[in-house]
Structure 1
């Protein structure tokens, strides 16, 4: 039976509970210290983890659904192939975290830190990354359908040959981004920052709403508008 409606405050307490069941429903982890915890499975539903410290967490199967993770800390967490769904992760920290092949679906990651994180092959469908600076994060091969990058910095990231559907790049920093041969469908590119290294070469922008896009600055040979 899943643990229901309890408060958990530290790693030792959580480890003890996990010996009975890995599922937690409507539980509270707010402000708890769970740093360097290593577990096989952790399943959280309708839980609150505000300001919880999960730095350097190692978890083989992490499932988070409809949870509140505002300002939680996942610094250097190894949570590859994890599932985050319908959760509020605003201002949480994921620097240097391993999120390869994870599913981050319909979540709010506004103002989060992802510098140095690996999101290689992750599915980010429907999530919001408002005002996020991805820095040196690796988002190669990520699925970004219906993602909001409003006011985010995705500088020097590659979207080469991708079909981008419902993506909002409004006011984003696209310096050095590679959109070569990308196809935009129902996207917004308004008041963005571009640089001479930004490439729209061969891109199909007919499905994008454009405003103040300085294609004269970016590489735009063969672009279709």
Structure 2
């Protein structure tokens, strides 16, 4: 039977137990961990539900294969964190620092990532659906084969990013910056591309279908 931790005292006791992986396979539920320092800790293969980790120090934390649902990570430092093959739903990562984070093969739905910093992050083969990524900074990031479906990316910055074979379907990219991005074999389907900066992009094999390219984007 999976252990469920709902007490902050129990959480801290296990955290200080000296075990290398104190929470493996456990469920963390309803904990207020605002501002906590878990830098470098291993939280892989966990379920984290309805927890608050706003402004937490999570640099280099290991969350591989974990399930995160309704987790508040606003303003958290997740630089270099490992999310590979994690499942995220209804989480708030607005203004979070995700620079150099590993997000390969992540499956995410209903995220808020407004103003998040994903510079030099690697989200190859990830899938983001029904999420708000307005104003994200993803310059230099790797998004090879990444799917963005029913997402808002208004004012996002993907300068010098690798978007090889990425798919943007039913998205709003109005006013975004994709200058010098690698868009080879990428596809945009039913996408709002008004006022997008495509200068210097690599576009061999780029596919466009039912896109809006002209006119000012609607006011935010």
Q: TM-score, normalised by structure 2?
A: 0.80
Deviations along 1:43-69, one digit per CA (max 9) or x if unpaired, are 122222210222211233322122321
Structure 2, gaps ≥5 residues long: 216-220
Of 199, 202, 205, the residue aligned with 1:206 is: 199
Q: How does 1:154-169 map to 2 (within 5 A)?
A: 154-160=148-154, 162-169=156-163
2:54 and 2:178 map into 1 onto residues whose CA distance is 35
Q: In structure 1, how many angstroms separate the alpha carbons of the residues matched to 2:135 and 2:157?
A: 12
In the superposition, relative to structure 1, how do residues 34 and 60 fare at CA in structure 2: closer, same or farther (>3 Å)? same
1:61 and 2:55 are equivalent in the alignment: yes
Residue 99 (structure 2) aligns with: 105
* CA deviation vs aligned residue, 1:79-103 (integer Å, no higher than 9, x gap): 2111101122101122001112211
Larger mean Cα displacement after TM superposition, 147-156 or 159-168: 159-168
Distance in 2 separating the partners of 1:17 and 1:179: 41
Aligned residues: 211
In structure 2, the CA distance between the partners of 1:106 and 1:24, relative to structure 1 (3 Å rule), is farther
Cα distance change, pair 162–75 in 1 and its aligned pair in 2 (3 A): closer
**Counterparts of 1:207 and 1:85 in 2: how far apart (Å)?**
28
Which of the residues 122, 125, 129 maps onto 2:119?
125
Which structure is larger by alpha-carbon Rg, 1 or 2?
Answer: 1
Paired residue secondary structure (1:15): helix
- For the residue of structure 1 that corresponds to 2:128, the secondary structure is coil
Distance 1:55 1:205, change over 3 A: same
Classify 1:120/1:200 alpha carbon distance in 2 versus 1 (closer, same or farther; 3 Å): closer
Query: Aligned ranges for residues 36-115 of structure 1 at < 5 Å?
Result: 36-115=30-109
Tell me the CA shift for residue 107 of structure 1.
0.7
Distance 2:35 2:16 in 1: 9
* Structure 1 Cα separation of the partners of residues 112 and 51 of structure 2: 15
* Contact residue 66 and residue 87 of structure 1 kept, 8 A: yes
Compute the RMSD of aligned alpha carbons: 3.0
Of 128, 142, 151, the residue aligned with 1:148 is: 142
Contact 2:160 2:181 in 1 (8 A): yes
Indicate if the aligned counterparts of 1:25 and 1:47 stay in contact, CA closer than 8 A: no
Q: Would you tell me which structure has more strand in proportion to its own residues?
A: 1
